Structure 1
């Protein structure tokens, strides 16, 4: 019997906290404090969490065979959740994320469509390729821009770029999770993180 805890494990629920700030940063950079209503902020935060969680479920659906060898404790290879159910969770959360973004405004909704497309493309096509980290970076950058969508959106380009660069570094390092990474990758990730931190000094 599948438990709620199994679904939370599938979507890496604790990790979804890492995206809550994306849309907030985008909105604040575009329109400043008080520029958006709390309802809009809540809808955007919900959209970010739903789309991130959808990506996690799709990741496990796409990697089920590989996980059976490298991560047998995960929900699908351990038999706690079927592969078809994981796909249904990913599709359902994608729809919820897009719906929440449109509830925040048409402009944010349109950006969420691009974000959802990038998420699905990453998990189904690009993840094992050299372009994987870049596509994931596009996802996180679009998450920031989803919050910025509307008046003043150009003000969020620098924060979105910073988040994207940081994501490239983290994703590149994470690809060595099982077999290890290289000194070059590690050094580049450190340099990127320092650059991203320095970029904060350029903001208001």
Structure 2
């Protein structure tokens, strides 16, 4: 049906466009950023305040994530009509104009809610919105697209910590965000090949060694963090094996698992950050891994 349709956005198409099955990884990002920035353990935050802070940050990040995914499909509608005709817009389940409007509205609301929490949160939210738009507009036109997507997740850490008034520039948070950047760069490189169900070059996947090595380093001496690291390494190893094997269907399955593994990475960092409030946060982040995989079976994550 091309890129135009009389339908605005059908209910299921709204979920597919937003890749909502991946939202648990957004929640785990919020948990990790807040824990790494020192909220709760160092700031005397009560359990209720910590839960409220995580909820506020997760809502803001979810608005950015879903809005960005909507705009991704809206900008790519003509390409998808040729390469992925089952996507909602070319299939006729969503009008391109409506998807554009919804995407910009969600991102605008995300910036507004971030700004309510202070100038630093507003600044981080604005930078995140800019990075998302840059990716959505340019990702089919530049080899730097994986780095831009990595920047989006890095800024998600900064935005989440700023929303709760924690240190967006805390050294541990920045180091964790750097590892997340590399993890997302690697999986985004693989995702760029997904439409063709093949991986032409595998060497850029070497960047995945950075978050794995960093997560192992901070886990040493912490049994809970080491257990989560083993799960992270197993998930990454499974995905990389599929990417190298290159059998039909391997690339999309590997990308989906790598996306879900973001939650395990977050869990490792939270567990390694200390005790007290970080314990339930680490468990919550770890649970986001199987939850994401389960949701991806209902709503495609890519």
Q: What is the CA distance between 1:152 and its match in structure 2?
A: 3.2
Question: 1:36-67 CA deviation, whole Å, 9 max, x = no partner?
Answer: 53333222110111100111101101111111
- SS where residue 91 of structure 2 aligns? coil
Does residue 26 of the first structure (1) align with residue 33 of the second (2)? yes
Counterpart for residue 109 of structure 2: 96
Counterpart for residue 131 of structure 2: 118
Larger deviation: 77-86 or 101-110?
Answer: 101-110
Q: Is the contact between residue 169 and residue 193 of structure 1 (CA under 8 Å) also seen in structure 2?
A: no
Alignment of 1:29-68 (within 5 A): 29-33=36-40, 35=43, 37=49, 38-68=51-81
Does residue 201 of the first structure (1) align with residue 219 of the second (2)? yes
Counterpart for residue 167 of structure 2: 152
Q: What is the CA distance between 1:193 and its match in structure 2?
A: 4.8
Counterpart for residue 185 of structure 1: 204
Give the whole-Å Cα distance in 2 for the aligned partners of 1:165 and 1:190: 6
Larger deviation: 92-101 or 37-46?
Answer: 37-46
Give the whole-Å Cα distance in 2 for the aligned partners of 1:137 and 1:95: 21
Larger deviation: 97-106 or 139-148?
Answer: 97-106
C-alpha spacing 1:191/1:30, structure 2 compared with 1 (3 Å): closer
RMSD: 2.0
Counterpart for residue 13 of structure 1: 20
Question: 1:5-42 CA deviation, whole Å, 9 max, x = no partner?
Answer: 22111111112222112122111111243645333322
Q: Is the contact between residue 163 and residue 196 of structure 1 (CA under 8 Å) also seen in structure 2?
A: no
Q: What is the CA distance between 1:151 and its match in structure 2?
A: 4.3
Residue ranges of structure 2 left out of the alignment (5+ in a row): 1-6, 221-271, 274-302
| Aligned length in residues | 203
Q: Is the contact between residue 44 and residue 104 of structure 1 (CA under 8 Å) also seen in structure 2?
A: no
Question: 1:67-94 CA deviation, whole Å, 9 max, x = no partner?
Answer: 1112111110001111111100110110
Of the two, which has the highest radius of gyration?
Answer: 2
Q: Is the contact between residue 111 and residue 126 of structure 2 (CA under 8 Å) also seen in structure 1?
A: yes
Q: What is the CA distance between 1:127 and its match in structure 2?
A: 4.3
TM-score (norm 2): 0.62
Q: Is the contact between residue 34 and residue 166 of structure 2 (CA under 8 Å) also seen in structure 1?
A: no
Counterpart for residue 72 of structure 1: 85
Counterpart for residue 162 of structure 1: 179
Counterpart for residue 254 of structure 2: none
Give the whole-Å Cα distance in 2 for the aligned partners of 1:75 and 1:53: 15
Give the whole-Å Cα distance in 1 for the aligned partners of 2:102 and 2:217: 37
Counterpart for residue 240 of structure 2: none
C-alpha spacing 1:174/1:200, structure 2 compared with 1 (3 Å): farther
Does residue 84 of the first structure (1) align with residue 97 of the second (2)? yes
Give the whole-Å Cα distance in 1 for the aligned partners of 2:160 and 2:82: 39
